[in-house]
Amino acid sequence: MKPARLASLVVLALVLAAVAAGAQEPYPTRPITVVAPFPPGGVADLTARPVAAAMEKVLKNPVGVVNKTGAAGAVGMQFVATSKPDGYTLLLALSSISIIPEADKLFGRPPAFTVDQFAPIALISADPTVLVVPADKPWKTAKDFVEDAKRRPGQISFSSSGVYGTLHMAMELLSHAAGVKFRHVPYAGAGPALTAILGGHVDALASGPAVVLPHIKSGKLRPLAGWGDRRVAALPEVPTFKELGYPDAEFYIWAGLFAPKGTPEPVLARLRDAVRAAVADPDFKAGMDKLQTPVAFKQGAEFQQFFDADARRLADGVRKVGKIETK
Amino acid sequence: MLETLQNLAVGFSIALSPSVLLYAFAGCVVGTLVGVLPGIGPLAGISLLLPATFGLDATRAIVMLAGIYYGAMYGGSTTSILMRIPGEAASVMTCIDGYAMARKGRAGAALAIAAVGSYVAGTVSVVALMFLAPPLAAFALRFGPPEYFALLLLGLLVLAYMSGGSMLKALAMAALGLLLGMIGIDQMTGYFRFAYGVVELGDGIGVVPVAVGLFGLAEILATAGQATPPDVIKPKLRELLPSRREWKESAGPIGRGTVLGFVIGIIPGSAHIISSFVSYALERKLSKRPEEFGHGAVAGVAGPESANNSATSGAFVPMLALGVPSGPIPAVMLAAMMVHGVSPGPLLIKNQPELFWSFIASMYVGNVVLLILNLPLVGLFVNLLRVPYPILYPSILVFCVLGVYAVNGSVVDVWIMLAMGALGYVLRKLGFETAPVVLGLILAPMIEMAMRQSLAMSDGHYAIFVTRPIAATLLAVGLLLVLLSLKSLVTRSLDWRARLALAEKGEGHP
């Protein structure tokens, strides 16, 4: 055998060995994309970025965040639902992931995606909404508010982030739990909904605690009750609807990481470990502290259980709202 | 007063420190680029760069993001004037007279007027922001859906002054725009309208693809369709600066545009886009020679360009004074503050005086930077016109496609742009003006939402529009304007439109 041919055979053998090794090399071997289905600056984006940065340290591969927005998140969620289940395209979804398919069903539309197209990886944060009213309104407690709503059905108005949006669903869950009816004024996003209550154009708003805290402190808004199973840390004097005897009024704006269904179990396990390490990362904790968003890590069966219960409540909520008839 | 000046001095000392200055400069440069590139507007630019600011401190981050916002308003005029491509939605009006000026060899003058107008508006409106923020913000919040509806209705009246030709044609185009604006999710019920199963159409048709298609692509197609290519404009150096007459005619529009833009800008919502449309209409109404509009009236550049710049400062008023996310861009900036642990709210100015005052000071500095950046660039940009059409136009097409795609990463937007380009070409051949389409498209979703929100607030009673003082006043003003325009019908006197029509008949064809 000529030396040149020998050399090329050796090279070939080395290449083959490298390829074989590559096939067995554990996930991940290339950059991972986390899709945030909402624009930069929103809850999904602001959660996704610190999580991705912390996961990068664990997975030793770049983890990038891509904002794929549109149709209240449906565009990005649909994109991940139909992505290759190889663990390289993940979704950072909010509570609305359970609402959109249910609303599609309600209107008889072919659903953009269904929840069972996703494999839950881990819950990252869960923030219960709180009920706020303008400080110049007469209601001092949630009891005043609900009783007045009973006396005047359909008279007390609330703003929301949009029809069937998260802030709308929170109020609907309350209205069914308490057997009252409110007047709904939808806005295009949580920002405009907050502006509306600050301008005194509506009477109430269910909102994430962080964005209303400064307005509570300045005396513009009054918190009445929270939707969580325990009180909000920053508002220890504000009771929960559960305490007040409305156990069905439970609602969280949560953020969780999902992979497309069919992602191999070892990959999912690796991702769960990465997220667990990520939420313990000091940088991540500091980042979430600044946003005043409580970290609530759940994984595996625990997350599945939380997700299923939440999806059931929301699906039920959407069905109870039904199609909206406007005058 | 004295305290304000002291605070401002502290603000300047921070804003002029090299590291903060660097970020203000970077923001202005990026903003200018974002404005120049067709498609990508300030919202997309800020959104794309937001993650990059997470590593900075709050002051630097906010100063840079604000620089992108008002820098985009400077940059937006460039492609509008040179190539009739709106860099972002607020520059649509500049396309009309700015481009007409460029065809006459006055591109340099138009660019210089736009830059100076933007500078004056930017600086004056920061003064207003500094002194008037808290009381104005409280007033702005009183604009709920009924007031917004009344304001937008006034915006519809503006349509009457948008076109120089046939009123019927202008209204037909506005109707087309309003119809296009109906596409997308019905915000009040969640129904998809005219989406035909395309998820991306759920958000409706974007203003940017439509504007770039109707103006830019249509212009390119029209030029390509001519039997002989138009002469390449060779601007001469001494023609770069505006003439004495052009300065004189711009002064009034710049002043009025500044006030108008600021007032519209402080109102929460997305109405700031219409500030340039309203300014254009106002200047045409006040002009002694309204027939010049559309054929290179310098006031048609000066007014809208000033208005869109001061509207950006106006939009900061509720954001800084009350921590209210008064529009999509302030909302992103508030998020940036939260990322840095600054809690935006009514106590921001009190608790974070350094942030507030260095922000204000940086806006003064930024406007100077932009003026210095933009005036010399006039000479450079104008030379783009020397590029032969077979090279220039394909390159512009590439940039249009890239820019429109980059906004949402959506191919559907690119198709919309191409379809609108074809439509714009046909409309042009038939003598229709396309600016009313864009205004209709902007107004339709806002006006519908405001009206239905108002009715949701009042449980379906229309009285809500007349029982609230601001809404009632605005509607009364609108009614008055309509009655005034009917006057000429009654007295049978010819208004400028009729005179123009007669003149055109006399000339044969314009």
Q: B204 and B445 in contact (C-beta within 8 Å)?
A: yes
Predicted local confidence at residue B510, as pLDDT: 39
CA distances from A22 to A62, A84, A87, A292 (A): 18, 19, 16, 42
Q: Does B331 touch chain A (CB under 8 A)?
A: yes
HEC secondary structure over B111-131: HHHHHHHHHHHHHHHHHHHHH
Three-state DSSP class for residue A36:
strand
Task: Count Cβ atoms within 10 A of the Cβ of residue A282 and give its class: 0-12 exposed, 13-18 middle, 19 or more buried.
Answer: exposed
Report how far residue B283's alpha carbon sits from residue B256's, in angstroms, rounded to the nearest whole number.
9
Q: What angle do CA A210, A211, A214 make, to 5 degrees?
A: 90
Three-state DSSP class for residue B247:
helix
Q: B246 and B109 in contact (C-beta within 8 Å)?
A: yes
CA distances from A40 to A29, A36, A150, A190, B328 (A): 27, 8, 40, 14, 11
Highest CATH level, class, for A130-226: alpha beta
Q: B338, A46: Cβ pair inside 8 Å?
A: yes
> How many CA atoms does the CB half-sphere of A182 hold within 13 Å?
28
Torsion of CA B92, B97, B103, B106, to 10 degrees: -120
Q: A238 and A114 in contact (C-beta within 8 Å)?
A: no
Predicted local confidence at residue A11, as pLDDT: 60
Give the tens place of pLDDT for each residue, B56-91: 888 899 999 999 998 988 888 888 998 888 877 888
Instruction: State the DSSP H helix or E strand holding residue A258, giving kind and residue range, or none if neither.
Output: strand A252-260
CA distances from A320 to A103, A174, A317, B369 (A): 11, 12, 5, 57
Residues of chain A in contact with residue B68, where contact means CB-CB under 8 angstroms, are none
Q: Give A223-237 as a DSSP string.
A: EEEE-SSS--TT-TT
Chosen for mutation from A168, A198, A215 (greatest number of chain B CBs closer than 10 Å) is A198
Q: Give B261-325 as a DSSP string.
A: HHHHHHSSSSGGGHHHHHHHHHHHHH-S-GGGTTS--THHHHHHHHHHHHHHHHHHHHHHHH---
Task: Count Cβ atoms within 10 A of the Cβ of residue B125 and give its class: 0-12 exposed, 13-18 middle, 19 or more buried.
Answer: buried
Q: B191 and B60 in contact (C-beta within 8 Å)?
A: no
Cβ within 8 Å of residue A157, ≥6 positions away: A182, A183, A184, A185, A202, A203, A204, B456, B457
Per domain, the residue ranges of chain A are 32-127+252-321, 130-226
Q: Identity (one letter) of the amino acid at B461?
A: H
Residues 172-211 of A with CB under 8 A from B: 183-189, 191-192, 194-196, 198-202, 210
Q: Identity (one letter) of the amino acid at A62?
A: P
Report how far residue A20's alpha carbon sits from residue B400's, in angstroms, rounded to the nearest whole number.
45
User: For residue A177, what are its two tokens?
Assistant: 């739990």
Predicted local confidence at residue B310, as pLDDT: 93
DSSP for residue A219: T
Q: Does B456 touch chain A (CB under 8 A)?
A: yes
Burial of A209-223, coded b for 16+ CB within 10 Å and e otherwise, reads bbbbbbbbebebbbb
DSSP for residue A240: B
Q: What angle do CA B412, B413, B416 make, to 5 degrees?
A: 90
User: For residue A221, what are its two tokens?
Assistant: 């808004």
Chain B residue with the nearest C-alpha to that of A189:
B328
Q: A50 and A82 in contact (C-beta within 8 Å)?
A: no
- Residues (pLDDT < 70) of chain B are 160-165, 232-238, 488-510
Size of interface A-B (CB pairs under 8 A): 151
Pairing of strands A63-67, A130-134: unpaired
Predicted local confidence at residue B58, as pLDDT: 86
Report how far residue A97's alpha carbon sits from residue A114's, in angstroms, rounded to the nearest whole number.
9
Predicted local confidence at residue B381, as pLDDT: 82
Three-state DSSP class for residue B232:
coil
> How many CA atoms does the CB half-sphere of B368 hold within 13 Å?
7
Predicted local confidence at residue A327, as pLDDT: 47
Residues facing A205 on adjacent strands: A132, A159
Query: Domain A32-127+252-321 classified CATH 3.40.190.150?
Result: yes
**Do A32-127+252-321 and A130-226 agree at the fold level?**
yes
Three-state DSSP class for residue B363:
helix
Predicted local confidence at residue B139, as pLDDT: 86
Residues 134-173 of A with CB under 8 A from B: 154, 157, 162-164
From first to last of its 327 residues, chain A has per-residue pLDDT tens of 455 665 665 665 655 555 544 455 688 999 999 999 988 778 888 889 889 999 999 999 999 998 887 777 888 899 999 999 999 999 999 998 999 898 888 888 888 899 999 999 999 999 899 999 999 999 999 999 999 999 999 999 999 988 888 899 999 999 999 999 999 999 888 888 999 999 999 999 999 998 898 899 989 999 999 999 899 988 999 999 999 999 889 999 999 999 999 999 999 999 999 999 999 999 898 888 888 888 889 998 899 999 999 999 899 888 888 877 654
The complex's ipTM?
0.85
Q: A218, B449: Cβ pair inside 8 Å?
A: no
Report how far residue A108's alpha carbon sits from residue A106's, in angstroms, rounded to the nearest whole number.
6
Burial of B441-465, coded b for 16+ CB within 10 Å and e otherwise, reads bbbbbbbbbbbbbbbbbbeeeeebb
CA distance, residue A274 to nearest chain B CA (Å): 22
Predicted local confidence at residue B199, as pLDDT: 77
Q: A88 and A63 in contact (C-beta within 8 Å)?
A: no
Predicted local confidence at residue B342, as pLDDT: 83
Q: Measuring CA to CA, which residue among A5, A115, A58, A48 is closest to residue A277?
A: A58
Pairing of strands A89-94, A295-299: unpaired
Q: Measuring CA to CA, which residue among B99, B164, B110, B158 is closest to residue B279?
A: B158
Q: Is the dihedral of CA B99, B102, B108, B113 positive or negative?
A: negative
Report how far residue A219's alpha carbon sits from residue B424's, in angstroms, rounded to the nearest whole number.
53
Predicted local confidence at residue A7, as pLDDT: 62
Task: Count Cβ atoms within 10 A of the Cβ of residue A84 and give its class: 0-12 exposed, 13-18 middle, 19 or more buried.
Answer: exposed
User: For residue A184, what are its two tokens?
Assistant: 């709904």
Q: A133 and A140 in contact (C-beta within 8 Å)?
A: no
Residues 226-285 of A with CB under 8 A from B: none
User: For residue B380, what are its two tokens?
Assistant: 């450079």
Neighbours of A1 (CB within 10 A): 7
Long-range contact list for B479-482, CB < 8 A, 24+ apart?
B481/B154, B481/B157, B482/B157
Residues of chain A in contact with residue B455, where contact means CB-CB under 8 angstroms, are 326-327
Predicted local confidence at residue B322, as pLDDT: 86
Residues 25-84 of A with CB under 8 A from B: 39-42, 45-46, 49, 65-72, 74-75, 78
DSSP for residue A32: E
Q: Does A131 touch chain B (CB under 8 A)?
A: no
Give the phi and the psi of residue A130 in degrees, each rounded to 5.
-125, 150
CA distance, residue B209 to nearest chain A CA (Å): 15
Predicted local confidence at residue A238, as pLDDT: 96
Report how far residue B141's alpha carbon sits from residue B115's, in angstroms, rounded to the nearest whole number.
31
Residues of chain A in contact with residue B322, where contact means CB-CB under 8 angstroms, are 198
CA distances from B8 to B17, B174, B314, B449 (A): 14, 46, 19, 40
Query: For chain B, how long is the longest CA-to-CA vector?
Result: 68
HEC secondary structure over B149-193: HHHHHHHHHHHHHCCCCCHHHHHHHHHHHHHHCCCEECCCCCCEE
Predicted local confidence at residue B493, as pLDDT: 55
